[in-house]
Structure 1
Amino acid sequence: MNPEMNKLLKWSVQNSQQQNEDGSVTAPASAEELQRNLTPDMINALMGGPSDADLMKAAMEMLHSDETDLENKLIAFDNFEQMIEGIDNANNLEPLGLWTPLVKLLQHEDADMRRMAAWCIGTAVQNNQTAQDKLIVLNAIPSLVNVATTDSIPATRKKAVYALSSAVRNYQPAMNELSKSLPEGYPTDKTDAADMEAVDMIMDKLRAHPVASA
């Protein structure tokens, strides 16, 4: 932990003793107990550091900057993905205006950038109907299907399938959009988004989808 935060915790402990009416002193909370109640944003606020929202916006700016090299863009993408593992940060993508630039990166010329974009989308929409619905609004499901079935890089296709799997499970509107976007040879009947076996069959078929050699 930041040394300054250690000082703050020690100060809190030293100054939180309370004297009872009978003259006894109530033992203060330990530093470990106080630390457990601190969130990263609380710590950042105390120390004057950036919030997760600030970091997410900064990461997206780097991802679209011509002045940032690929190595640092991938580092920024990895940090971004870790932040949106939390549902609060995932739901902040819309108010922060980050969904559209994220989806746009599915069309990036670099395969690793496309892979990370699909990965982040899959992370954000997993068990999150608000985010799942946003993919429909942005018409992102056809883009993910295109990556999953045509990208020349297997790792990129794999993450696109992951994103689709996360997007449609237990959310029928997204499943319906996927059904309309699938290539010829896939199930044409309506698939129940709550039928995990049926969803798995589609995802397995997407993973095995033949791709023309580059």
Structure 2
Amino acid sequence: MARISAIVSTLLLLFAVTAVVATSVEHENQSSSAGLFWSTAKEGGDLVHKSGDATATADDIDGGFSSLDGMLQWAIGHSDPAKLKEKAQDVKRLSPSELRQRQLEIKELMEKLKMPSDAQLMQIALDDLSNSSLSLEDRHRALQELLILVEPIDNANDMCKLGGLGVITRELDHSDSDVRKLSAWILGKASQNNPYVQKQVLEIGALATLMKMVNSSSADEATKAFYAVSALIRNNVGGQQLFFMEAGDKMLQDILSNPSVDIRLRRKAVFLVGDLAECQLENTDKAEMLFFSNSLLLKSVVDLTASGDLDLQEKALVAIKNLLQLKTTEAMVFEEFCRLGEALERMKKQLEEDHREYAIDVESLRKEVELAFQAKLENGRAVPT
């Protein structure tokens, strides 16, 4: 971690100098530093720069800083804005000739300094996490580094190649809640819309651990764990089947039916139900999972229409609309067990008293659900017995 801190300090100095050079040297847009181009900026944080030739890659690993822009953006993300501005103010006091001298120094610095690629930075963080004697503070820092680095898909894939998924998965069992939370968050980011990483994480067996973490007494940990679970199974039929085998429908039902659960988690849970139903509708060649035949789960979604939170109500309506279009959901279950007709009528009266624009949008969605429900009922009655 000391190496990373040194890199950040060096880049911040470089950023402060180049920001001031860009704002102070009139009509001099082209820097003599390694063919880099600078544009004027109002403040140090507003600096815009075009890609230069400064690149670094790891052997057989994709990723890395594609330009000085990438290096500086990474450094800015790890900087104290007040200190950065202070550095910029100090440099502003230099004369034009002194500024030009600094440009030459920067050029020499860039020639001497071999910037690590994203893959190398991830390897440093992963090596630190594998060190059992690492302090808790440095463990947090290493995870936060990875949280930033793993967001691009190529970097997430590279972390797999580096064996990072196993390292992060082990951190899910750490005694510190923040370590567990950050680790789940990293796995969620890496898996988001990334079938390659989803497959790797599922094969490691992290899904079951993450689902247990959703029951954490820490709302933040539970929310991040649920985010990771959602990222793993979204648009992934195999992941959804594993989710069902791990009683995922029961987990969702418990979250949605318990008003004491953090509202963020309940919103994410009902959104996932709607998303899973939509995924099923898009994959008509796949047999519908028994997951959607859980009448208690369906009722827990319908009951959310009585919530005082409009956002939660809207997400529940979207989920119900998608569920009504599935072949395996029965009209009579919605009518007699879930009491969907009564719920929609109660909701109509509530929304009539709320004249906010958002409430009007929700009412429009409620009408769509009502029409879909009536169509489901009519189709059910039309089926010969």
Note whether the superposition's TM-score is higher than 0.5: yes
The reply to whether residue 145 of structure 1 matches residue 167 of structure 2 is no
Residue 156 of structure 1 corresponds to 221
Matched, 1:37 2:51: yes
Query: Which residue, out of 251, 255, 279, partners 1:194?
Result: 279
Aligned residue type for 1:37:
S
Hey, what's the Cα distance between the residues in 1 that align with 2:206 and 2:280?
22
Which residue of structure 2 aligns with residue 51 of structure 1?
117
Which residue matches 2:179?
A: 113
Match of 2:190 among 124, 134, 143: 124
Deviation, structure 1 residue 66: 3.0
8 Å CA contact 1:74–1:113 kept in 2: the answer is: yes
Question: What CA distance in whole angstroms lies between the structure 1 residues aligned with 2:123 and 2:37?
Answer: 36
> Are 1:64 and 2:130 matched, yes or no?
yes
Aligned-partner residue type, residue 58 of structure 1: I
Number of aligned pairs?
A: 184
Larger proportion of helix:
2
Task: State the Cα distance separating 1:142 from its structure 2 match.
Answer: 0.8
Q: Please give the root-mean-square deviation of Cα atoms over the aligned residues, in Å.
A: 3.6
Match of 1:19 in 2: none
Q: Distance in 1 between matches of 2:249 and 2:194?
A: 29
Between the aligned partners of 1:193 and 1:65, the Cα distance in structure 2 is 43
Shift of residue 42, structure 1, vs aligned partner: 4.4
Counterparts of 2:248 and 2:201, CA distance in 1: 19
Partner residue in 2 for 1:212 = none
Report how far residue 153 of structure 1 moved.
Answer: 2.0
- Residue deviations 1:88-125, cap 9 Å, x none? 10011121111111111111111111111100000000
Larger radius of gyration: 2
Offset at residue 64 of structure 1 (A): 3.0
What does 1:86-97 correspond to in 2, within 5 Å?
A: 86-97=152-163
Using CA pairs under 8 Å that are at least 6 residues apart, name the structure with larger relative contact order, 1 or 2: 1
Distance 1:186 1:154 in 2: 15
Structure 1 counterpart of 2:246? 181
Query: For 1:12 and 1:155, how far apart are their aligned partners in 2?
Result: 45
Q: Distance in 2 between matches of 1:102 and 1:163?
A: 12
**Alpha-carbon distance, 1:68 to partner:** 2.2
In the superposition, relative to structure 1, how do residues 193 and 97 fare at CA in structure 2: closer, same or farther (>3 Å)? farther
State the 1:37 CA deviation: 2.3
- Summarize the Cα distance change of 1:134–1:192 in structure 2 as closer, same or farther, 3 Å threshold: farther
Deviation by residue 1:6-53 (Cα, 9 ceiling, x = unmatched):
69942555xxxxxxxxxxxxxxx9545x94224624447963121111
| Secondary structure in 1 matching 2:279 | coil
Distance in 1 of aligned mates of 2:117 and 2:152 = 14
Contact conserved, 2:210 with 2:229, CA < 8 A, in 1? yes
> C-alpha displacement at 1:83, in angstroms?
0.3
CA contact (8 A) 1:10 1:31 kept: no
Cross-structure match for 1:22: none
Give, in whole Å, the separation in 1 of the partners of 2:152 and 2:248.
33
- What residue identity is the alignment partner of 2:139? K
Deviates more, 1:60-69 or 1:48-57: 60-69
Q: Secondary structure at the match of 1:92?
A: helix
Secondary structure of the corresponding residue to residue 127 of structure 1: coil
Distance 2:230 2:174 in 1: 22
8 Å CA contact retained: 2:129, 2:167: no
1:10 is the counterpart of 2:76: no
